[in-house]
Amino acid sequence: LPSKVACIMPWILADYTSKQLNFDEPATFRDLSKPIGIVNPDNAVLVREKITKLGTLYRYESFEDPNGEISKFHYGTHYSSAAGVMHYLVRTEPFTSLHIQLQGQRFDVADRQFNSIPSAWSLIMSSPYDNRELIPEFFYFPDFLRNDNHFDLGRPQLGGKQVGDVELPPWATTPEEFIRIHRGALESDYVSANLHNWIDLIFGYKQKGRAAEAALNVYYYLTYEGAVDLDDVTDPIERASIEGMIKNFGQTPCQLLKMRRCKQHSVNSPNHTSPFHIPTFVHL
């Protein structure tokens, strides 16, 4: 798929430190009823009370835009963007070349590269301002976790080894094993019973309006479909700025469901259907 059209998948696990996973233990899994930015309850407190934007502190309840054009929002970053897709797939062409193009004809600094799955999860849990969800490759494509092309991705500034293959959690010894276990988690009873909550956030009734506000699930206004009519923007500089924001920042998918979604049956149930039979494409 081109980088402007991406599929979004959820982080489903919360355990990236154990040597073995227990799918019967709820603590193994991420809370799918909450946006990824507030799965950590401490982050929810921060998001509820304030927004950090360009070093200035605003309270969500009293956010003011002098021009009256910007709606209140909880997050200054988006869960799915072209840059995020390139971040995950930096070792795989054509995304390697797209990443280099985005970074001004060079690789981004090693400290910001996707280098470790446990570290990526830890970073998301430590701050509500990195709230990237996953992409489908985490469930079927082990090659993106290896630097088979031997790209020079640099060395972290504070020391450490050269960035190469992606570090896996202890419960997976190879990329293939990671994919197998991760896909098994996706089809687990817990995810089948709770995935509808995540779909409500991304595609459903909690995507917009008061339900989104109550769920702490509001993103920058330009990410939403129909937020601005580019045909009405006559200033070419302003139009280019808006187009660049939409292209690089990410877009919230079309709202497909206006009512609460029913939970899925267990994968072992005779009534089970795939939880992803609705489109998971996001136009970036």
What 3-state class would DSSP assign to 219? strand
Give the model's pLDDT for residue 273.
Answer: 54
Of 263 and 192, more confident: 192
Is residue 56 scored above 50 in pLDDT? no
Question: Quick one: which H or E segment has residue 57?
Answer: strand 56-58
pLDDT the model gives residue 89: 98
- Please, which residues have CB within 8 angstroms of residue 71's CB and are 6 or more apart in sequence? 218, 221
Q: What mean pLDDT is predicted for residues 19-48?
A: 95
pLDDT in tens, 228-240: 888 889 899 999 9
Indicate the CATH number for domain 5-283.
Answer: 1.10.1540.10
- Tell me what pLDDT residue 130 has: 86
pLDDT band, very low/low/confident/very high, at 55 (cuts 50, 70, 90): very low
Q: How confident is the model at residue 194 (pLDDT cuts 50, 70, 90)?
A: very high
Tell me: pLDDT of 62 over 60: no
State the pTM of this model. Answer: 0.84
pLDDT, residue 193, reads 96
- Residue 78 structure tokens: 């988006």
pLDDT at 59: 41
What residue has token string 């946006």?
A: 35
For the chain, the domains span 5-283
Mean pLDDT of 251-271: 71
Q: pLDDT (tens digit, 9 = 90+) per residue, 66-112?
A: 555 677 888 888 999 989 999 999 999 999 999 999 999 999 999 99
* Whole-number pLDDT of residue 67: 58
**Burial group, residue 104, by CB count within 10 angstroms (0-12, 13-18, 19+):** exposed
Q: State the pLDDT at residue 280.
A: 54
What does the pLDDT read at residue 104? Answer: 93
Question: Tell me: the pLDDT tens digits for 140-182?
Answer: 999 999 999 999 999 998 878 999 999 999 999 999 999 999 9
The two three-digit tokens of residue 204, written as one number: 């459903």
- pLDDT tens figures, 114-150: 999 999 999 999 988 888 999 999 999 999 999 999 9
pLDDT score recorded for residue 36: 96
Mean pLDDT score of the chain: 86
Q: Are the beta carbons of 79 and 250 closer than 8 angstroms?
A: yes
Residue 77: per-residue pLDDT: 86
pLDDT digits (tens, 9 = 90+) for 196-214: 999 999 999 999 999 999 9
